[in-house]
Structure 1
Amino acid sequence: MDRRNLFRAAVVGTGSVAFGFTMTRPSFADPAQTGPGPYGALQPADANGVMLPQGFTSRVVARSSQTVPGTSYTWHGAPDGGACFADGNGWIYVSNAELSTGGGAGALRFDASANVVDAYRILNGTRTNCAGGATPWNTWLSCEEVDRGYVYETDPFGETAASQRPAMGRFKHEAAACDPDLEVIYLTEDVSDGAFYRFVPTTWGNLASGQLQVLTETGGTLAWANVPDPDGSPTATRNQVANTKRFNGGEGCHYANGVCFFTTKGDNRVWAYDTVANTIALAYDDNLTSNPPLTGVDNITGSPASGDLFVAEDGGNLEICIITPDDVVAPFLRLSGHGSSEITGPALNPAGNRLYFSSQRGTSGSTSGGMTFEVTGPFRSA
């Protein structure tokens, strides 16, 4: 989604942001407004408790604490952030485990007909693996959401051991998004006075070394500043640089065509950072639309084909909402009977015709009751 310019500056909190931007597709004139979604109204819940638009269907592909059908692998508890990777004629869906002990990440392998043909572990011995991000070189960055947590680079194919990446900083990590154009990785921090970071690898494709930077704002001008001590001790990374721009509970992160979208749960916003113009805008704010359908913003992903964003809720009425390029926000799906859970890990398969996500605690409200879903249907391509 190619934002060409940002305009109509306005003050929000302590910093200035732009409240609109235009695109090569229909233009964003303001933050997204409540309206009818491109797929129509949600239908009554199906047998899996999923309310979907007409023409879409769901299935459960894995359940926490149970053996994945057709494999010998027990699916992990508290499934969280996820992503899809091409695998020959099929694909792989990876999923984090947001457990304080026994965290890590697992993977489901699908064949060309979308049958699950394998399931396996790709990361062990870590804590509270919340979100993360896929890299262009087909690895999964699994992020620890704990104080002075690490980023781990993992192999979705299960062939190479995971590597700890301390150069990417030790803080309460949430999500990561790779920018292959500027060759940097954006990182969110899940605390109420969190920062927005980027990691500049010494060599693109190798995350063993590089420079962690933090976004600052002085007099309305944004800049990136080096973090002196990425280890974050004794001073937290977010408190080392003057004029660090603060964000209230950083969550999901997604990059597309010069824009890094990220969410903040403390104020229910979706931000759009224009990486070329070095400006920031609000793509969504629940205080700036009537009857906002999207609350408890969390994980985010996007469709390269249509430019649509899919934002999962941690709270609200447990929906994945769509934000379209023509500035409409609307429910895409809703879970029924999952009131003590949250929706996590939305990811489209490489063909863009299947959406994966999890209910982290399922209908039981327990981390051992997680459910991972697949939704199939006529996803739009433009």
Structure 2
Amino acid sequence: MDRRTMLRAAVVGAGTVALPFTAWPAAYGAPAQNATGPYGPLGAADANGIQLPAGFTSSVVARSRQTVPGTSYVWHDAPDGGAVIPDGDGWIYVSNSEVGSAAGGGASRIVFSATGQVVGASRILSGTDNNCAGGRTPWHTWLSCEEVSRGRVFETYPLGGTAVARPAMGRFKHEAAAADPVRQVVYLTEDEPDGKFYRFVPTAWGDLSAGTLQVLRAGSATSGSFTWATVPDPDGTPTATRRQVSGAKTFNGGEGCHYAGDTVWFTTKGDNRVWQINLAAGTYELAYDDDLVSPGSAPLTGVDNITGTSSGDLYVAEDGGTMDICVITPDDTVSVFLRVTGHSGSEITGPAFTPAGDRLYFSSQRGTSGSSSGGITYCVTGPFRD
């Protein structure tokens, strides 16, 4: 019995239903190596310029500066981090806009019916700067993060409500967030060459208005044990949060972040790595390093946003590279799942699965034009494994 089978047997035996939002990962023996992907080779580019494995199809959901089909709402520029929020029998896809406040920075939503038809779209956050990535909470809000010096986290309400800043979560160059309902904390990445990895411990779970910001402390190696230390001044002035705690481990350009089953994964673009932290064991190691891949060249470069599925597969989007979304499996393999052609001046952003796990949303932030006004948001459907 392989690790995937053992994992799924354990989940079923525990009477737990695993969804893409709470994916159960297998015991990765990182770092991942090249292998044939679980869906086979890519086919020729389709009408949308996307290469996919057999059985998968793509569609365009929205384009920047154009009305979202079926609504009167104009889709925002530079779509970036995203997530899917359950909404009755349907769902909502939320997406950040990585432009300045004067250019319309913030976040938007697209509302889908149970059959995947667009039934609405609207703005959920305005007047903020360079909202890059973020994270979904178990209480169905979206944490939209500003990627600027002393940036803020904004809690938005896709199901209804007014967005609010959460300064207790720290003022720094925020990237992504991932909620851990077991330890009742939120993990945070920092997009700096000497960035750190944080967790926010709310005073009360479900209320992010107050709490304690902590930073991961560890040695300089790529694996080992770690501890958490409190950041004295989360406001980050006059001393930046990343420079307040001695022994805080440096990560080169923190990007996407994903939590599932006592493990948190995050990406660092400066060295093309995916890190994994075993929260139960108190250890960290590499899930992927493009310098350690064999045989052949690394399929995944420019690592960025990351998400996961109930199968334990991780989907990692590229910022640059060959505009791929790659799959890292619990069997420690890495392969290309899809490739967007003709978008060399763009990056892939916002990968997120529906609750059923049969639809994957993502965006090309700048599309074929290479401009923030050229963003395109897609949906891929097909036989994703569960």
Q: Same fold (TM over 0.5)?
A: yes
Question: C-alpha separation between the residues in 2 aligned to 1:57 and 1:145?
Answer: 33
Q: CA shift at 1:110, angstroms?
A: 0.5
Q: How does 1:193-232 map to 2 (within 5 A)?
A: 193-217=194-218, 221-232=225-236
Structure 2 CA distance for aligned equivalents of residues 75 and 30 of structure 1: 39
CA distance in 1, matches of 2:169, 2:143: 11
* AA aligned opposite 2:95: S
User: Please, which of 262, 265, 282 is the counterpart of residue 261 of structure 1?
Assistant: 265
- Cα distance in 2, alignment partners of residues 287 and 208 from structure 1: 41
Within a 5 Å distance, the mapping from 1:145-224 to structure 2 comes to 145-157=147-159, 159-217=160-218, 221-224=225-228
Deviation at 1:25, TM superposition (A): 7.5
Is there any run of 5+ residues in structure 2 with no aligned partner, and where? 7-23
What is residue 382 of structure 2 aligned with on the other side? 377
Q: Which moved more, 1:25-34 or 1:360-369?
A: 25-34
2:303 pairs with 297, 322, 334, which one?
297
The Cα offsets for residues 66-93 of structure 1, whole Å up to 9 and x where unpaired, read as 0001101000000000000111111100
- Whether 2:314 is the aligned partner of 1:314: answer no
Partner residue in 2 for 1:7: none
Q: Which residue does the alignment assign to 1:248?
A: 252
**Could you say which residue in structure 1 is the equivalent of 2:76?**
76
**Residue type at the aligned position of 1:133:** G
CA distance in 1, matches of 2:132, 2:278: 25
> What whole-Å deviation, never above 9, does each CA across 1:114-162 have from its counterpart, x for those lacking one?
11010000001100000000000000000000000000000012x2000
Change (3 A) 1:198 1:343: same
Q: 1:26: how far off? A: 6.4
- 338 and 218 in structure 1: CA distance in 2 versus 1, 3 angstrom threshold: closer
Equivalent-residue separation in structure 2 for 1:318 and 1:211 (angstroms): 38
Q: Which amino acid aligns with 2:34?
A: T
Q: C-alpha offsets along residues 180-208 of structure 1, whole Å, 9 cap, x if unaligned?
A: 00000000000000000000000000000
Aligned residues: percent identity? 66
Verify the 8 A CA contact 2:143 2:154 in the aligned structure 1. Answer: yes
Q: Which runs of 4+ in 1 moved over 3 A?
A: 24-30, 218-221
* 1:137 matched residue in structure 2: 139
The structure carrying a bigger strand percent of its residues is 1
Distance 1:30 1:191 in 2: 25
Distance 1:165 1:40, change over 3 A: same
Does the residue aligned with 1:65 lie in a helix, a strand or coil? coil
- Residue 91 (structure 2) aligns with: 91
Distance across 1 between alignment mates of 2:323 and 2:355: 25
Equivalence for 2:46: 46
TM-score by length of 2: 0.91
Q: TM-score, normalised by structure 1?
A: 0.92
Counterpart position of 1:11 = none
* 2:275 corresponds to 1:271: yes
Cα shift at 1:30? 3.5
Unaligned runs of 5+ in 1: 5-23
Deviation at 1:28, TM superposition (A): 3.2
CA distance in 1, matches of 2:163, 2:383: 36
Aligned length: 359
Distance 1:218 1:376 in 2: 42
In structure 2, relative to structure 1, the CA distance for the partners of 1:289 and 1:93 (3 Å cut) is: same
Kindly provide the amino acid, as one letter, of the partner of residue 278 in structure 2.
D
Q: Name the CA distance, whole Å, in 1 between partners of 2:195 and 2:142.
A: 23
CA contact (8 A) 2:25 2:313 kept: no
**1:100 shift after superposition:** 1.6
Q: 1:334 maps to which residue?
A: 339
Between 84-93 and 198-207, report the one with greater CA deviation.
84-93
Greater alpha carbon shift after TM alignment, 83-92 vs 218-227:
218-227
Contact 2:93–2:109 (CA under 8 A) maintained in structure 1: yes
RMSD over aligned CA atoms reads: 1.5
Alignment of 1:53-72 (within 5 A): 53-72=53-72
- Check conservation: 2:266, 2:306, Cα contact below 8 A: yes
Letter in 2 for 1:252: G
CA deviation string 1:216-238 (max 9, x = no partner): 12595411000000000000000
Shift of 1:277: 1.1
Residue identity opposite 2:33 in structure 1: Q
